[in-house]
Amino acid sequence: MTLALTERLGLKDRAWVLSTSELDPDSPIAEDTELIITVGGDGTIIRASRLSVPRGIPILGINMGRLGFMTELRAEDALDKVPQYLEGAARVEERSMLHVDYIPAGERNGQNGGSGGKGVRYHALNDAVVGRGAIARLVNIKAFIDGAHLTDFRSDAVIAATATGSTGYNLSVGGPILPPQADEIILKAVAPHVGMAPALVLPVSSVVELVVETDHPAILSVDGYMDSDLSFGDTIRVQTSDHRAHFLRAHPETHFYETLTQRLGFGGGQSSTRAIQY
């Protein structure tokens, strides 16, 4: 598919082709790039976003996977329709992202968050998940919103998700679906034994802090593939990122709703008597 596209578009000598495993966010390869075309699924787009987002490069996704909530074109349509996008028959859609700081125990009240010391900073397109590690035991997580203590979760995990991530892990555990252009943050516990079971939808200005208070290993997973081990007292601070993801779109904004049930596997886009079950 990739080679066929570059030949069809006459870009053989003006395009670069890499697998997601070869992508380096700091690579100079993207300095003069105007568009990134991904061939795969949502996971491919998430990995490509590490290269595209800091540079403001839009992504055009071709779906080779199953759901493809972030993709724009079906594989069978790509060769015929991609040229239309390059000729200007498209708009740029922006998506909100999360700024995620891992703050080691004892540094939570520092002014620099995870930008200094031993902390690590991430930018997430989908979600940040604080959950149990290799040991199959519940984790204790103290949750704060804008400095106010919300609850103490005892659960498999706690998810902080964007609107883009609302159709991912959040959806699979009963969380709400947000419109793709929404800037709100979802906070959802996974199989909570203690603490709130319903999801919270928080304003764009919210700052969420998740403090690990468990005596066995826990883990932070960002967008499903960037992982950090967590220990007692470590904090994950989540807020809206200054970074925005950009996607090339030709379908109207209502296309998300028109294809929602189809992408979820509940029919061809028409009303269905089948309900989503959890």
- 78 CB burial (10 A radius; 0-12, 13-18, 19+): buried
Is the separation of the CB atoms in 164 and 95 below 8 Å?
yes
Q: Estimate to the nearest angstrom the gap between the alpha carbon of 161 and the chain centroid.
A: 7
Q: Residue 206: how many CB atoms within 10 A of its CB?
A: 17
Q: CA–CA separation, 48 vs 210, rounded Å?
A: 28
Residue matched to tokens 């030709």? 250
Q: Strand 157-161 to strand 127-132: parallel, antiparallel, or no bridges (unpaired)?
A: antiparallel
Q: Strand 59-63 to strand 36-40: parallel, antiparallel, or no bridges (unpaired)?
A: parallel
- Nearest alpha carbon to residue 222 among 50, 76, 19, 93: 50
Catalytic residues: 42
